[in-house]
Amino acid sequence: MNITKRISLVAILVAISFGAVRAQNTATQTVQEGATIAQPICLFVVTGLQFGAILTGSSSGTVHVAATSNSWTETASGAPGPVLYTGSHGGVTPASIASFTVSGEPGLDYTIAYSGPSIITNTSNSSKTMSIAFDAPHSETVNGITPSTTLTGTSSPYTATSTITTDGTDAWVVGGTLSVGANQASGNYTGSFSVTIAYD
Amino acid sequence: MNFKSTLAFAAIAFLGFAAAANAQNTSSANTPEGATIAQPLVLSNCAGLFFGGIITGSQAGLVTITGITNGTGTFNETYAGTPGPVKYLGTHSGITAPSIAEFSVTGEPNMSYTISYPANSYVYLNGNTSSTSMQVTDFNPVASTCCSIAPSGHLSGLSSQTSGSSCSSNGGDAWVIGGSLHVGANQVSGTYTGSFTVVITYN
- What CA–CA distance (Å, rounded) separates B122 from B136? 6
Of A30, A34, A39, the CB nearest to B50: A34
Which residue from B94, B97, B132 is spatially nearest to A106, judged by alpha carbons?
A: B94
**Which CATH number do you get for residue A120?**
2.60.40
Q: For residue B106, what is the nearest residue in chain A, using CA coordinates?
A: A27
CA contacts within 13 A on the Cβ side of B167? 22
Which of A74-83, B65-74, B90-99, B155-164 shows the lowest mean pLDDT across its residues?
B155-164
Confidence of residue B3 (pLDDT cuts 50, 70, 90): low
Of A27, A32, A38, the CB nearest to B53: A38
Give the pTM. 0.80
Of B49, B91, B201, the CB nearest to A25: B201
Q: How many helices (H) and strands (E) does chain B have?
A: 2, 13
**Of A174 and A154, which is predicted with more confidence?**
A174
Confidence of residue A15 (pLDDT cuts 50, 70, 90): very low
**What's the pLDDT tens digit per position in B92-126?**
998 999 999 999 999 999 999 999 999 999 999 99
Domain that holds residue A110: 42-199
**What's the pLDDT tens digit per position in B17-72?**
455 556 778 778 888 888 888 899 999 999 999 999 999 999 999 999 999 999 99
- What CA–CA distance (Å, rounded) separates B156 from B153? 9
**Would residue A144 count as lying in a domain?**
yes
- What CA–CA distance (Å, rounded) separates A22 from A128? 89
**Would residue A158 count as lying in a domain?**
yes
Cβ A36–B194 below 8 Å, yes or no? no
How many domains, chain A?
1
What percentage of chain A exceeds 70 in pLDDT? 86
Interface with chain A: mutation pick from B75, B86, B88, B147, highest number of A CBs within 10 Å: B88
Q: Does A53 touch chain B (CB under 8 A)?
A: no
**Would residue A24 count as lying in a domain?**
no
Contact partners, residue B6, CB within 8 Å, separation at least 6: B27
- What CA–CA distance (Å, rounded) separates A75 from A78? 8
Burial of A156 (0-12, 13-18, 19+ CB in 10 A): exposed
**Would residue A13 count as lying in a domain?**
no
Confidence of residue A18 (pLDDT cuts 50, 70, 90): very low
Q: Looking at the complex, report in whole angstroms how far the Cα of residue B166 sits from the nearest Cα belonging to chain A.
A: 13
**What's the pLDDT tens digit per position in A27-70?**
999 999 999 999 999 999 999 999 999 999 999 999 999 999 98
Confidence of residue A71 (pLDDT cuts 50, 70, 90): very high
Would you state the pLDDT for residue A156? 65
**Would residue A188 count as lying in a domain?**
yes
Task: Count Cβ–Cβ pairs < 8 Å, chain A vs chain B.
Answer: 131
- Mean pLDDT across A9-18: 48
**What's the pLDDT tens digit per position in B122-155?**
999 999 999 999 999 999 899 999 989 999 999 9
**Would residue A26 count as lying in a domain?**
no
**Residue A191: pLDDT above 90?**
yes
Would you state the pLDDT for residue A85? 93
Interface with chain B: mutation pick from A6, A31, A164, highest number of B CBs within 10 Å: A31
Name the percent of chain B in helix, strand, coil, to the closest 5: 10, 45, 45
**Would residue A128 count as lying in a domain?**
yes
Q: Say if CB B75 and CB B176 are below 8 A apart.
A: yes
**Would residue A11 count as lying in a domain?**
no
- Mean pLDDT across A124-128: 96
Cβ A26–B40 below 8 Å, yes or no? no
**What's the pLDDT tens digit per position in B74-87?**
999 999 999 999 99
Q: Does A28 touch chain B (CB under 8 A)?
A: yes
Q: How many helices (H) and strands (E) does chain A have?
A: 1, 14
- What CA–CA distance (Å, rounded) separates B184 from B181? 10
Would you state the pLDDT for residue B37? 84
3-state SS string for A118-154: EEEEECCCCCCEEEEEEEEEEECCECCECCCCCCECC
**Residue B15: pLDDT above 60?**
no
Of A23, A34, A200, the CB nearest to B191: A34
